[in-house]
Amino acid sequence: MLLTVDIGNTLIDFGLWKGDELFLVYQAATKPIRSEDEYRSVVELFLQSKHIDAKEVDDAILSSVVPPLAPIFRKIILDVFAVRPKVVGPRLKTGLAIHTDNPAEVGADLVADAVGGVARYGNGLFLADLGTANKYIYVDQNGAFAGCAIAPGLAQGAASLSRDTAALPLASLLFPRHVIGTNTNDSMNAGILYTNVYASEGFANAFEAEAGTSLRRILTGGNAIYVKDLLPSFTYDPNLLLFGLKEMAKRNHK
């Protein structure tokens, strides 16, 4: 079995694969930052709760946008599974051409999204990954990562709106019946949620105009579930990043 681990700023996603089948996904919170022993307990609890024998895992790959956690999870995976994990970075073969000013600065999550997108849907893509930050990714007609836009994420916007204002409560993140809210909760939810809907559609339209061609639209990320029903032109794929990690593990299998 292959273990894929995506360490994000808010969540850690674990995926277990049998061949090309993702048969198990497990999530744990990244924040607050824990000790190595605490994260090891998270991994062991994941195995116990799902009745998985660590000996069944014979390959592993991880991506991380939280630099201090990458070496911690490399050690945990080696100790628990007796497997030395591959880590998404400059030394790993991705099969993805990166056409940006500085390819080395493109994050592991962006690379994994793009690799997964090309493997699943082909070239010419607009990927909206709505997480702690919203990443809007352009994969060109040759299958290269050709740039992106990055914005504050949905949950970040909701938290800052409540934290940085004196009279506004924490939003419930439930879609109101109308865009024009007639009470505080509906007004906040309309503003937060429709901002992300309109941003995803608007960036998709702008990327297509700048690229000079239509693009297949893919929606992913932990916060995409809040807005997916309002984005019918997008294909919702919640595990796109884990799929990208699986593809890179195959390309680097010895």
- Known catalytic residues are 109
Residues 145 and 96 sit within 8 Å (Cβ to Cβ): yes
Could you tell me where the beta strands, DSSP code E, fall in the chain?
2-7, 11-18, 21-29, 59-64, 86-87, 125-130, 133-139, 145-152, 216-220, 235-236
Residues paired with 134 in a beta bridge: 130, 151
**Which tokens in the block code for residue 97?**
């051409």
Task: Label the pairing between strands 86-87 and 125-130.
Answer: unpaired
Residues 12 and 29 sit within 8 Å (Cβ to Cβ): yes
Residues 74 and 63 sit within 8 Å (Cβ to Cβ): no
Task: Label the pairing between strands 216-220 and 125-130.
Answer: parallel
Query: Amino acid identity, residue 203?
Result: F
Q: Which secondary-structure segment (H or E) carries 246?
A: helix 240-251
